[in-house]
Amino acid sequence: MNRPLISLILIAYNQENYIRRAIEASMAQTYAPLEIILSDDASSDKTFSIMEQMAEEYLGPHTIRLNRNPQNLGLGGHINRLMELANGELVVVAAGDDISLPDRVEQCWQAYHDSGGKAMSIYSALTIIDEHERQLETVRKPLPDGINDLTCRISDIGVCGCSHCWHRSVFDIFGPLVQETVYEDKAIPFRSILLGQIYYIDKPLVLYRRHTGNISATRPLRWSLSEVAADVVKKQKRRLLTLKNYERDLRQDHPGIRIALGIRASLYSEVQKRIRLLELDIQFNEGNFHNRICIIEKGLRSGIGLNEIGKWCIRILYPFHFGRVRRHRLRDLRSHEQSYDKISDDGV
């Protein structure tokens, strides 16, 4: 298998304090031929100026390209734009405050080669560092059983977005992501399963930088009930966008899709069911008492499971108790959370 052109896309937004190290690491990659796209999502600081300076001074073997979005596109829109620009067969994504180890792209290529060209998504372990690049811990997220099964995929199992690499066919065949997509580490691997498989490299290839701008655990641990409710709805809306990506991709008909039509039809029906339920749940969470009663009636008419109807009833009858439970669970999650998927969280 010949060594193809690979694109490393460096995505940045207001990361002037760290972007230089991220660019240096990208330029130090051992793989060739390599195209590096330095892309800024309409930062208000000096991020793009640093990109321009370093691109102008670079004398190495890789091709350096610059992109600056005239307005902030958010994660989904930014990736869509870069997939229009990238020429590589494989696309390696990097965050503007992380550091890719020198052999990261080489290892991704080797994994793709070893899979016989079947690996449509590739990701690796990572090492968490602090603001001063002191190593804190290594995070390994190996493939769970069944991750290469679509039924498992729609249950929201993702890859490490900060170490993700994908084959360009996941965009050539399915087109752009839904514009507002945040959980690209779920939407893209779903496409990868439709076309091939996911491959995990059990070696840290990314230094993920933990700092005050990206740590979930640094958010306040004392949440009011209204803050809990707002956080729940925000995550539900992000999940809804992921499901809508699944729904659209399952409608696609292409000879490169390896999953049988009957299985795709069954999954499509399941995804639509989950979308309807989630849309009702969002309306319930955002509604007043009268709206919530109407949603329960609508749920009963549309065949929503009694388990979900029961939850809605409890939330009407005992709103304070339900809110307290949610708040305590969220506080525990925040206090123990080890977030290492900054690609999905930054700039949103």
pLDDT in tens, 264-310: 999 999 999 999 999 999 998 888 888 989 988 888 888 787 888 88
Task: Over range 166-190, report the average pLDDT.
Answer: 95
Determine contact, residues 34/65, Cβ cutoff 8 Å. Answer: no
Structure tokens, 9: 């896309």
The full set of domains in the chain, from first to last, is 6-214 (3.90.550.10), 225-340 (no CATH)
Tokens of 300: 């009963």
Q: For residue 175, is pLDDT > 50?
A: yes
User: What integer best gives the mean pLDDT of the chain?
Assistant: 87
pLDDT, one tens digit per residue, over 65-111 is: 999 999 999 999 999 999 999 999 999 999 999 999 999 999 999 99
Does residue 7 have a pLDDT over 50?
Answer: yes
For position 4, what pLDDT does the model report? 97
Q: Report pTM.
A: 0.87
CA angle at residue 35 from 34 to 36, to 5 degrees? 115
Please classify residue 237 by burial: count the beta carbons closer than 10 Å to its beta carbon, then call 0-12 exposed, 13-18 middle and 19+ buried.
Answer: middle
Asked if the model's pLDDT at residue 346 lies above 50, the reply is: no
CA dihedral 142→146→148→153, nearest 10 degrees, is -100
How far out from the chain centre does Cα 202 lie? 20
Contact 53, 125 (CB under 8 A): no
Q: Residue 324: its pLDDT value, please?
A: 56
With cut-offs at 50, 70 and 90, classify the pLDDT of residue 348.
very low
